[in-house]
Every structure is written in structure tokens, then in C-alpha cells.
Amino acid sequence: MPNKIKEEIERLKNERGAIILAHSYQPGVIQDIADYVGDSLELSRIAARESAELVIFCGVRFMAETAKLLSPESTVVLAAPDADCSLAACMSGADLREMKKKYPEATSVMYVNSTIDLKAETWACCTSANSIEVVEAAPSDEVIFGPDRNLGTWVAANTDKKIHIWPGGCHAHSGADIRDLREKKAEWPDAEVLVHPESPSVFLWEADKVLGTGGMIRHIEQSTSSRFIIGTEEGMIYRLETLFPDKQFVAAGKILCPDMALTTLELVLKALESNDSGIEIPAELAERAGAAVRRMTEIGR
Ligand code: 13P
């Protein structure tokens, strides 16, 4: 049965001039049928570059929205329409407006894992890969950073600027238990520890490298180590094992995103079969949020 679905997905994809994009946290079966697998920013850039008529996005809502902002001509359909992001839900545009009143001298930098409404209020977005560079590029010595407190704490430790942090967090990463990481380190003392900056701060201070998912791949590519302990969503282990079959990977803890797990082959097929008009963003919001996202793509990686 899965093979039949895969054949039908392939046929419809060609017929409709579609591309399938999957985030590295997606279930293995989805990564396998995708045209491109990548981090959230890479996927948005691919959507913009390919200018396909139809983009089937396998990930969570803010990622599909970012792809739409960067490629407004394409129809971008989120394969699992209920796949939201607990982190993006932590902060709204109104929250940022309140913080701006409190810190009128500060520029705001918001992690791309955020709602359109929040993006529209911010000077720039950033990814886990370029957060420090974007903060350094902000035209003030004070910065409001949100919605992720762990990434914000990491940025604050790596800049001389004063950072006002919104206390949001990814509920999957936030629940990671440091005792699991220490156990893995004891089992694999030779392994490099790579941790996503959404993980609890104590994980970041125990890591060899703090990297986004794309950064992890680029680091492993040039590393001479053969074993790695990975502190991020567990879908990433499948991605790394596929890319680097000669290296070994283990998860640093139980980090499972229920929203990422919602995508199925059946939903991808349904998205290809339907005439869904996809992600729609009111023009005024798209203009302001798009400017913040474009600034992010212009600064660093
Ligand atoms: P990346 O930007 O590394 O793809 O991470 C996205 C994400 O949602 C992490 O939880």
C-alpha cells in the first residue's frame, strides 16, 4: 500500500508541477519522498529559487508561511494543516508592541519560529544559524529578543549588547533532561555533542557546538569525529544516518515534536489531489513580515 501511495504522489507531483519540501525533523517516510530536505531557512530559500507552481510543505505552519513570504507567486500548502509550533504560539505581535513601549530604545529581533503577526512587528527575523549576527547588525545597543528564551540566553552570552528576552520556549526541546545527555556522554566519551539552541540552557553549556539543524550537517561533513550525540528533535537522527552512513548518531534525550509527527503520506497525497489555495497572508501583513524575513536572509547564513 505505501508503495502505491508513493507512486501516486510522484505521478501527481509531476502532473501539477509541484515540489515537496520536508524539514529534517519530518518522519523518515516523508523525508524519503521529498524533493528537498533541509532546515527551515534552506527550505524557504529553495521555494523562492524553484518558483514551482505548487509547493507541498512538510513541516509546521510558520515554515510554510515563511516559504510563502519568500515566494508569493507559488501556492504553498502545508501538508498537515494542524501542524503548528508551540514556540511560535508563545508570543504575539501585541506582546512585542508592549515590550517596545517598555524598551523604546531597543530594536527587535524575532526568531523565525514565530507567527506572521509577530514577524510584522519586528525589525528583523533570525534563524538559529544567524541569530548572533542579526543581533550584532541591529542599529542599537539594546535588543528585544523573542520568542525563545533559550536561544535568547545564548545570544545574550555571545554579544555585548543588552538583550531583553521574551520567556517563550519549544515544548519539545524544553522538556529535555540533562541526565540523559550526561548518560550518553559517559557511554560515548569520544563523541562530539551538537545541540540545537532551543534546548535548555544547561544543554548549551555542555555542548561542543551549538548549531541549528543545517549547521549540524555542515559541521559533521567536515568533522573527523565518527560519533555524535545530537541534542534536537529525533527526526534529525534519521536525516543524519541517511546522509552519513559511516558515522554514528544518538539522541541526547527524548525530544519529540508532536506537530512534526502529524505529516503522513496520505496527507501529502491529499494536498496534491486538492485545489487548496494554500497559505494566504493579507497583503499589508505580508509586506511587513516579508521585510523582516528578507532582512534575515541578507544577514549571514
Ligand atoms: P532549524 O532552523 O534548525 O531548521 O530549526 C527549526 C526548528 O523549528 C527547531 O525546533
* CA gap 66, 294 in Å, rounded: 10
Residue 293 included in any domain = no
Alpha carbon 158 to chain centroid, angstroms: 21
Question: What pLDDT is stored for residue 114 in this prediction?
Answer: 97
Q: Are residues 6 and 65 in the same domain?
A: yes
Q: Are residues 140 and 92 in the same domain?
A: yes
Burial tier of 277 (Cβ tally within 10 Å: 0-12, 13-18, 19+): exposed
Residue 40 beta carbon below 6 angstroms from any ligand 1 atom: yes
pTM of the shown model? 0.94
Using alpha carbons, list the distances in angstroms from residue 216 to 5, 126, 243. 32, 17, 12
155 neighbors 146 (Cβ within 8 angstroms): no
Q: Are residues 278 and 242 in the same domain?
A: no
* CA gap 200, 188 in Å, rounded: 21
Residue 60 included in any domain = yes
Residue 295 included in any domain = no
Task: Please identify, by atom number, the ligand 1 atom nearest to the C-alpha of residue 170.
Answer: 10
Residue 299 included in any domain = no
Residue 41 included in any domain = yes
Q: Find the domain containing 132 and state its range.
A: 88-169
Which of 1, 283, 229, 244 minimizes the C-alpha distance to 120?
283
Q: Is the pLDDT of residue 129 over 90?
A: no
Q: For 139-195, write each residue's pLDDT tens digit.
A: 999 999 999 999 999 999 999 999 999 999 999 999 999 999 999 999 999 999 999
Count of domains forming the chain: 3
Residue 127 beta carbon below 6 angstroms from any ligand 1 atom: yes
Residue 298 included in any domain = no
Q: Are residues 224 and 276 in the same domain?
A: no
Q: Of the residues 87, 110, 113, 134, which should be mutated to test ligand 1's pocket, given the most ligand atoms within 8 Å of the CB?
A: 113
**Which residue, 117, 138, 169, sits at the end of a domain?**
169
Q: Are residues 92 and 162 in the same domain?
A: yes
Residue 112 included in any domain = yes
Place 298 in a pLDDT band, splitting at 50, 70 and 90.
confident
Residue 138 included in any domain = yes
Q: Are residues 247 and 274 in the same domain?
A: no
Residue 148 beta carbon below 6 angstroms from any ligand 1 atom: no
Top pLDDT among 126 and 45 is at 126
Residue 263 beta carbon below 6 angstroms from any ligand 1 atom: no
Residue 213 beta carbon below 6 angstroms from any ligand 1 atom: yes
CATH number for position 29:
3.40.50.10800
Q: Are residues 178 and 128 in the same domain?
A: no
Q: Which residue CA neighbors atom 2 of ligand 1 most closely? A: 40
How many angstroms is it from 40 CA to the middle of ligand 1? 6
* CA gap 301, 295 in Å, rounded: 11
Using alpha carbons, list the distances in angstroms from residue 264 to 127, 239, 246, 269. 26, 17, 29, 9
